[in-house]
Amino acid sequence: MRSGCREHGYDISGSTTQIVPLLVGDSDVAVRLSEALLDRGFFVPAIRPPTVPQGTARLRVSLCADHDVADLDAFFAAIDDLGRRRGLRVMGME
């Protein structure tokens, strides 16, 4: 997951655990991304103030042993597509 995030240029705040925060910044965008990902079969909650500081809203990606490379590829394809088609971007996306 981390290498995929690096390849896509996503900011993951130096995460080293199985929970990977994808920094979004804007709370509304984080919520819209979370909802759009759920529509595509990915449960990725939006975390926003007051849980995190203002301007640092993020998506909380949790991995488990059941996830495989195909799952990660599908996730990155979904989030990249949402960025292109709907302008919903994770910090670091070109």
Domains and CATH numbers, the chain: 2-86 (3.90.1150.10)
CB 92 within 8 A of CB 9: yes
Q: Which long-range contacts (CB under 8 A, 24 or more apart) does 39-48 make?
A: 40/78, 42/75, 42/78, 47/21
- Residues 22-61 pLDDT 10s: 888 899 999 999 999 999 999 999 999 999 999 999 999 9
- Other C-beta atoms closer than 10 Å to the C-beta of 46 total 20
pLDDT over 60 at 93, yes or no? no
Residue type, 10: Y
Q: Where are the alpha helices (DSSP H) in 19-66?
A: 27-39
